[in-house]
Amino acid sequence: MQEKKISRSELKRAAIIQAAKSEFETKGFQSASMDDIAKRAEVSKRTVYNHFSNKDALFSAIMVEMMSLLCAFEHVPFSAERSLEEQLKQLVAHEVSQLRSEAFLSMAKVIIAEAIHSPELIQDAMSEFNKQESPLTSWFYSAADAGVLKTQTPEIVVTQFMAVIKAFCFWPQLIQGAEFPDEQQVELISNTAVQMILKQYT
């Protein structure tokens, strides 16, 4: 099957988004300018506006792209033939690999800071993102439908599962500049998250 060729317009759009990420991270959303974004992307200001009507539209595109990273990892379909523990550990590994990304963390800092000052900026992006179902959420719903997880609210179970992981692999790095846990610590975190689900919901 032949791969779809990326058009020149798509390449420019990607360059603009990447440039905006760098500008927002370096200067903050309010101080960044469309002129500087154009210069960093090595395109004309007109090209920037052809793709994005304003900074808000650029910010929303970046947020959707970043959130989509969390849905882009290899799908782990629920299997009645494999142990829940094995599947849950695989889910943790995929989540940790995403949270470990420096690019993801740097943009999370920008997005959270701007969300506090300008919450309206993220409303459209969240609305678009909520139309997608993440592989993680899909797994928990499938496990609940199969009756192997005893819950009527899989979305709450997903939140609890992610809370344990992010308590060590996201929030300390975001807020305190802490080092990412090493492999031994990640294994302990994984066991904690997995055992919490198994003990409470099976």
pTM given for the model? 0.75
Instruction: Say how far apart CA 108 and CA 117 lie, in whole Å.
Output: 14
Amino acid identity, position 145: D
Look up residue 177 and give its two tokens: 């500049």
Instruction: Say how far apart CA 48 and CA 5 lie, in whole Å.
Output: 22
State the chain's mean pLDDT as an integer.
87
Model confidence at 186: pLDDT above 50: yes
Model confidence at 9: pLDDT above 60: yes
pLDDT digits (tens, 9 = 90+) for 129-146: 555 557 788 899 999 999
Residue 1 has a pLDDT of: 44
Residue 34 has a pLDDT of: 96
CA distances from 172 to 106, 124, 136, 160, 168 (A): 13, 28, 22, 17, 6
Which of 37, 32, 148, 13 lies closest to 88, judged by CA?
Answer: 148
Question: What's the mean pLDDT in 15-23?
Answer: 91
Model confidence at 72: pLDDT above 70: no
Instruction: Say how far apart CA 139 and CA 123 lie, in whole Å.
Output: 26
Instruction: Say how far apart CA 48 and CA 44 lie, in whole Å.
Output: 7
What does the angle CA 130 – CA 132 – CA 138 come to, to the nearest 5 degrees?
Answer: 110
pLDDT digits (tens, 9 = 90+) for 83-126: 999 999 999 998 898 888 887 787 787 777 777 777 777 676 56
Q: What percent of the chain has pLDDT over 90?
A: 56
pLDDT digits (tens, 9 = 90+) for 24-56: 888 888 889 999 999 999 999 999 999 999 998
Residue 29 has a pLDDT of: 84
Structural domains in the chain? 8-53 (1.10.10.60), 68-201 (1.10.357.10)
